Amino acid sequence: MKMVIFLKQLVQLLDWYHNISKNCSNEVIKKIIAITISSGLSVTNKVFKIASENVNNAIITVIDSKSIGIGSGLIAAYAEDLINANYDYQEITKRVQQSVLKSKVYFYIATLKYLRIGGRIGKVAGMVGSVLNIKPVISCDSDGIYYPVAKARSEKKAISRLLKLAIEDASTNESFRLAVAQGNDKAISSHVLTELRNSFPKHTIYTGDVSPALCVHTGPGLIGIAVQID
């Protein structure tokens, strides 16, 4: 039996745990791959690991995506594609873990205020209160912690750097997926989508809105690009 489940909130883990425990005890499900957002930004990964230790009669691999939002989502979508292509369990976990190391997520937000208040500002902390009004492009490092990957003096230049980073990553790899997420700035989102579609006319660019749970920590106006590399 094959099942692909996308949990959008940590509280859904309780229902997931109940259903998985039931199905595993009945030997309906024997192998599970759980892909979470970065353990450096959330306790979700830790909670999944604790829960998995209490599930009997099943092999469970919990994978830290080292990413957030659409970045984690594309990793999960890649795993789903591998499952549907009938790769075996070991090969799927291997390929997903390799993809985590190569994939990136980049995002721009107009203010660092909400990251600071939420306590998830990571290595971007040094830019808070800058009198130069620097506009950072933020990514997740190898530990899954936010850090400024580029800096600009204006929003327009920051968006330009955001696009350049994503396009360079995708252009240097043969097999990749792209996604754009926006948090209530449709004008910038439309511009970003147009630029990506012009650069990669034969590729589908996935789109979505930033979840309310993520908006709480970033504030309005976030624009993000994820590059998932096989």
pLDDT tens profile 40-70? 888 888 888 887 787 777 788 999 999 988 9
pLDDT tens-place string over residues 166-212:
999 999 998 999 999 887 777 888 999 999 999 999 999 999 887 66
Distance in angstroms (rounded) separating the CA atoms of residues 146 and 217:
12
Q: Are residues 114 and 225 in the same domain?
A: yes
Of residues 210 and 152, which shows the higher confidence score? Answer: 152
Res. 225: pLDDT tops 50: yes
Q: Are residues 94 and 123 in the same domain?
A: no
Residue 195 lies in a domain: yes
Full 3-state SS string of 75-123: HHHHHHHHHHCCCCHHHHHHHHHHHHHHCEEEEECCCCHHHHHHCCCHH
For residue 148, the model assigns a pLDDT of 87
Res. 136: pLDDT tops 50: yes
Q: Are residues 94 and 112 in the same domain?
A: no
Could you give the number of structural domains in the chain?
Answer: 2
pLDDT tens-place string over residues 103-125:
999 998 877 776 776 555 555 65
Q: Token digits for 223?
A: 């624009």
- Residue span of the structural domain in which 116 resides: 104-229
Q: Are residues 46 and 153 in the same domain?
A: no
User: With bands split at pLDDT 50, 70 and 90, how would you rate the model's confidence at 160?
Assistant: very high
Res. 220: pLDDT tops 90: no
Residue 7 lies in a domain: no
Residue 2 lies in a domain: no
Q: Are residues 160 and 215 in the same domain?
A: yes
Residue 168 lies in a domain: yes
Residue 60 lies in a domain: yes
**Angle subtended at Cα 14 by Cα 10 and Cα 18, rounded to the nearest 5 degrees:** 145
Q: What is the residue-averaged pLDDT of the chain? A: 82
CATH assignment of the domain containing 27 = 3.40.50.10170
Residue 4 lies in a domain: no
Final residue belonging to a domain, choices 101, 116, 150: 101
